[in-house]
Structure 1
Amino acid sequence: MIQQIYPSAVHPFQYELNKDMQFAAAHYVPGPGAGQCGHMHGHTYFANVTIAGNQLDENGFLVNFADVKKLIHDRFDHTVLNEHTALFNDQDPRRYPTTENVARTLYELVQDFLDQTPARPRCVQIFLRETPTSYIVFRPAAGGTYGS
């Protein structure tokens, strides 16, 4: 794993958990202006998930690292992102598997999981590197969700 320095998410919580992971996935961007990205191609994505909260669970965890890995790595590794049709689709530009939309989708998956836990920690940042020179940082909007 590459040693990485991430942009910091400002938050008021006592605990901050960061989980790094890689997953290899193919995709294409169906938009008319996608250029070369309109062709099927693959990346070794590098993701960092930042979760924050004040309460630990009965095991002393903010969240189990293994659960975060299952949500992302185990779901997407060695797949074609476009084939995850419940998450991405070729008709809606807000759901094309661009790096921006993939980062937001990772946030949604993680936060949906966290909302079902007793302590309800918050996903405060997704850092998603698509190539060695290109990455996206997604943070939820204050006071709202995507599309609000």
Structure 2
Amino acid sequence: MLQQIYPVAPHPYRYELNKDFQFAAAHYVPAEEAGKCRQLHGHTYFVNVTVAGDELDGAGFLVNFSDIKRLIHARFDHTLLNDDTVSFSAEEPDRYPTTEVVARTICELVQSYLDGRPNYPVCLQVFVRETPTSYCVYRPWPKVNRRPAGDAHA
């Protein structure tokens, strides 16, 4: 993978982790306005996930790089995204497998995983490049404090 420069997500955290990976998947966008993208076609998606937090876990990680890749790669690599009816829908435009929705979905999957971590990391942004000239950045604003109420570190 070529080294890339990504947009920066400003944040107040002490640590920021970025994980690059790619996966190959097919999709189609079931909307008249999608033009050629209404037809089944594939991409090699290049993804960057930005995670931040203030505390490291017992292994000295904010989060293990391989856990992030495995979470997304196992779910989407060499699939037809439209077949994942938990993540995507042919009936709801807000859930068509567009680059924007893929980025948001990855963010939600990563954050769901992070919510179970004892050091409360957060997914700040997901960058998804669909083609050499087209990409999307998703940021789940506003920032949500993921610490449980009454946590001494909050």
TM-score, with length taken from structure 2: 0.91
1:6 paired residue number: 6
CA deviation after TM superposition for structure 1 residue 66, in Å: 1.0
Q: 2:8 corresponds to which letter in structure 1?
A: S
What whole-Å deviation, never above 9, does each CA across 1:73-124 have from its counterpart, x for those lacking one?
1211100000111100100001000000000000000001001111110000
What corresponds to 2:27 in structure 1? Answer: 27
Aligned residue in 1 for 2:69: 69
Return the index of the structure with the highest Cα Rg.
2
Q: Which amino acid aligns with 1:131?
A: T
Query: Equivalent residue for 1:106?
Result: 106
**Equivalent residues in 2 for 1:1-148, closer than 5 Å:** 1-143=1-143
Distance (whole Å) between structure 1 residues aligned to residue 103 and residue 25 of structure 2:
14
Q: TM-score, with normalisation over the residues of structure 1?
A: 0.95
SS in 1 for 2:6: coil
How many residues are matched? Answer: 144
* In structure 2, distance between residues paired with 1:122 and 1:82: 27
Give % identity: 64
In structure 2, runs of 5+ residues without a counterpart are 145-154
Q: Following the alignment from structure 2 to structure 1, what is the Cα–Cα distance between the partners of residues 96 and 120?
A: 29
Counterpart Cα distance in 1 of 2:44 and 2:2: 12
What residue ranges of structure 1 are gaps of 5+ in the alignment? none
Offset of residue 70 of structure 1: 1.2
Tell me the SS of whatever aligns to 2:33: coil
Q: Distance in 1 between matches of 2:143 and 2:121?
A: 16
Matched residues in 2 for 1:84 and 1:4: separation?
A: 29
Quick one: distance in 1 between partners of 2:51 and 2:104? 14
Residues 46-80 of structure 1, C-alpha deviations (whole Å, 9 max, x = no match): 00000000000000000011110111112111000
**Is 122-131 or 66-75 further displaced after alignment?**
66-75
Q: Secondary structure at the match of 1:34?
A: helix
Structure 1 runs (4+) deviating above 3 angstroms are none
